[in-house]
Amino acid sequence: MSKTKILKNTKSYHDELIKSLKKPKEADLYLRIAMEEYHEDGDAEALLVALCNIAEARGGIGQLAKKTHLNRQNLYNVLSKKGNPTLDTFDLILKGLGYRLAIQPDEVRKTG
């Protein structure tokens, strides 16, 4: 069997990821983990890629642009690995994907 034939019959990781992110529970967990990792290391790249992947699973950047009323090219830029969205833009993206910002304590508070 040729290498080309094997590659043709092999599903890509990205395709499988996008397929799994169409399931709300999978997307929720994926985003939660990306947010936790961002909280731990401060590296926004994985978080932005996660948002972009969820957007792709939910109809693409064009669909997200319609929901958020943001320019499609701007969305591509802010969700790129080097993107740096403002808080307002980040909030609009989350809302467009069906999420919202929430605040919770960093540590469990001791009572008593």
Q: How many domains does the chain have?
A: 1
* 106 is a domain residue: no
Q: Give pLDDT tens digits for 25-34.
A: 999 999 999 9
pLDDT band at 12 (very low <50, low <70, confident <90, very high): very high
pLDDT at position 21: 98
Q: Let me know how long the chain is.
A: 112
* 22 is a domain residue: yes
* 109 is a domain residue: no
* 1 is a domain residue: no
pTM strictly above 0.95: no
Q: Give pLDDT tens digits for 25-75.
A: 999 999 999 999 999 999 899 999 999 999 999 999 999 999 999 999 999
Burial 55-76 (b: 16+ CB within 10 A, else e): bbbbeebeebbebbebeeeebe
Tell me how far apart the alpha carbons of residues 15 and 74 are, in angstroms, rounded to a whole number.
Answer: 24
* 62 is a domain residue: yes
Domain ranges, residue 17: 12-96
